[in-house]
Amino acid sequence: MLTKPYAIVACALLCAGAASVMNVAAQSGGGASPSLVVRGLPDFTELVEQVGPSVVNIRTSEKIKVRAPWGGGASGDDDAQPFAGMDPNMLELLRRFGMPIPQMPKAPQGAQKQPPAAPQEVDRPRGVGSGFILSADGFILTNAHVIDGATDVLVMLTDKREFKAKIIGADKRTDVAVVKIEATGLPAVKLGDVQRLKVGEWVMAIGSPFGLDNSVTAGIVSAKARDTGEYLPFIQTDVAINPGNSGGPLINMRGEVVGINSQIVTRSGGYNGVSLSIPIDEAIRVADQLRAGGRVARGRIGVEAGSVSADLAQSLGLTQAKGALVARVLDDSPAAAAGIEPGDIVLRFDGKPIEKASDLPRAVGSTKPGTKTTMSVFRRGKMLDISLVVAELEPDDAKRAQVGSSDAPAKPSSSPYAAAAQLGLMLIDVSEANKKEFKLKGGAQVESVFGRAAAAGVRQGDIITAIANQPVLNPKEAEVVLSQQDKAKSIVLQIRRGPRGDFILIKPESAAK
């Protein structure tokens, strides 16, 4: 029997021999199917030498007014003040982990107060982050949250030169920011093609986690187009990203920047194996606008969108579960002016296919305000092309209308509609006030709900505007359509719930049991 050291050597020899056999088999083309060529682990040293000089450390501070302890402030009170001059790395750690930030001490009990003095303005560090050089003349890309609230931004290059940076612009919706330093001949990064990036591909990050400058970590692309933001489909990786890495580059094996490291999914505040990066093509589109005008102009059409399930698609006659379901159309919006209705399913916008709900705000947001475009919608079994003019998304959206109505319709003692009752619906006419408020021609309002309808999600007060793609203007029309439906199949209701629209699928009695 071999001792442990010899066993390890023997295992290594056997493994090497097996690897050689597999390699020969792969080269000879033997076997029924081609073998995968397993490559060795990548060497990142050349990438670090190539890209490292383009990565910068960013430290931010804010100007605050402080007073000497125990009565030196303008008000003469004894409220504690935060320490100024705290090490930024420690401050970043305390903020990230939710720990209290040290305060200026209060006066001991009984201590004599000093005469009030004018507060002094000092710089208080806010945190640390990373960035990378976009152009040789000093434009630098980073995250908006890295510089948020800062009055001073200090950029340090790998050669230890420090520059005070000017904030060109920041966009919180995409978490992208551009700053500028007065320097020339800087080593700019090369930008990669995100479309060529593949899941499983090796990538590398360089940044300043916890203030440790030019730290290098590596991993693979875990997923693409991860929907965690309204305007951005993130790149997910398992590259170690920690506080301070924000704003640094995600680099492929060709030495090209493919993303900006932006977020981590964590329960502890540190790296847990899921890191998210902003695709560089999306970031550059934002950066170009920031450099041109200091802000980003986004399109707006005034709808709220939801997803389309497979059951809903089948019930409506769609061949695939795709598109964005219009849940609500805002008043005085381009969509309202164009005639878009709650319940419409958007399948294309400005020629771009809309596969899922999150595609719509991205397509609209990337459209220049003032553009006249076409939106293709599926409405009650028909395809419609609707023209509209895209407006500009304002920083603060208009206050949303209140859901529901103050008009309480009179309740009859009984309902004559048997087919509706079998589903669990007691229907009444829609009041004139509700028609006017929600811009409806008519419908059948749910007075009370029970049974299968209640289980499917129908609520009291909902207004049914269509059944099985057939419009209904009153309870009588709803009863006629319901009585014609196959009891062995699901029934889809198009409803209005206050200003919002939706579809509800009521399954047959056999399936409900």
Active site residues: 145, 175, 246
Q: How many CA atoms lie within 13 A of 350 on its CB side?
A: 20
CB within 8 A of 319, min separation 6: which ones? 313
Neighbours of 441 (CB within 10 A): 9
Alpha-carbon distance of 5 to 17, in angstroms, equals: 19
Question: Cα-flanking dihedrals φ and ψ of residue 118, to 5°?
Answer: -65, 135
Question: Taking the alpha carbons of 143, 128, 57, 202 in that order, is the dihedral positive or negative?
Answer: negative
Please give the structure tokens belonging to residue 296.
């980003």
Alpha-carbon distance of 267 to 421, in angstroms, equals: 49
Question: Taking the alpha carbons of 423, 426, 428, 434 in that order, is the dihedral positive or negative?
Answer: negative
Angle at 192 between CA 186 and CA 197, to 5 degrees: 150
- Which amino acid is residue 421, in one-letter code? A
Question: What is the widest separation between alpha-carbon atoms in the chain?
Answer: 93
Phi-psi region of 457 (alpha: psi -120 to 50; beta: other; left: phi over 0): left
Alpha-carbon distance of 132 to 144, in angstroms, equals: 14
Q: Are 101 and 82 in contact (CB under 8 A)?
A: yes
